[in-house]
Amino acid sequence: MGRTVIIGDIHACLDELKDLLRLCSFDASCDRLISLGDLVHKGPDSASVVEFFITGGHQALLGNHDDAMLQALIHGGELYPEAAACVQRIGLERLRNWLASRPLYLDEPEFIAVHAALDPGQADFRQTSRKAMLSGRWYDPVSGKIHAKAGDRKGLRPWFQCHPLAQGERPLFFGHWAGKELRRHGQAVCLDTGCCYGGRLSAWILPEQRLVQIPSRRPRQYDY
């Protein structure tokens, strides 16, 4: 039986991805690799990270940054540098098809995973809006709305502190909300530890239920 290695936001940090997989003793012949989304942007090498996932046949959820690249490919016109680099390496049609077929969530016997958020107001978490799954962070228990940024709204709570699945049977993995330390509440675990900001890249290994982290090779850019 192979293991499942679930990795938080990579954001184009290829070297750290390879460091982390080495530290996990990742074996592509029997282990399964899943990214929680946001393979691209912010870091140095979006094209190599995407290529690694596509050619390796690894799984990846769609993150808001992956979706932004997909939308740029769909709408056409002149591409920004990271998108152009990815197209040059992978080919427009193959890249577009691959990004378009990334799932927004995984619902498996051993775990649930989403890039950003699930809606505490939906009895069936699969009814969460696409926007919330891609970029949600805060939940307003009064209005029932999910917001990407708190702004000056009052009474908001982190979505995962309000979601019944955090008190469920299965681990609930998400990314998108970078923190120096893991954000955790019950079964909910955020694996975005800000690698692209000079923090760490984090992985969770199943069925061992073990956290593995590698420091970023990048200088700390700013506080996050």
Residues forming the site for Mn ion (CB under 5 A): 38, 63-64, 176
CA 50-63-181 angle, 5° bins: 100
| Sheet-wide strand order for 146-147 | 146-147, 138-139, 157-158
* Residue number with the smallest Cβ distance to Mn ion: 176
Shortest reach from residue 14's CB to Mn ion, in Å:
18
Pick between residue 26 and residue 177 the one whose CB is nearest to Mn ion. Answer: 177
Pick between residue 120 and residue 136 the one whose CB is nearest to Mn ion. Answer: 136
For residues 204 and 173, the answer to whether their CB atoms sit within 8 Å is yes
Beta bridge partners of 211: 204
Shortest reach from residue 106's CB to Mn ion, in Å:
16
Q: Which of 194, 202, 201 is nearest to 222 (CA)?
A: 194
Structure token pair of residue 199: 């923090």
Shortest reach from residue 39's CB to Mn ion, in Å:
10
ω into residue 207 within 30 of 0, thus cis?
Answer: yes
Pick between residue 112 and residue 134 the one whose CB is nearest to Mn ion. Answer: 134
Structure token pair of residue 223: 């506080």
Shortest reach from residue 162's CB to Mn ion, in Å:
20
Pick between residue 140 and residue 192 the one whose CB is nearest to Mn ion. Answer: 192
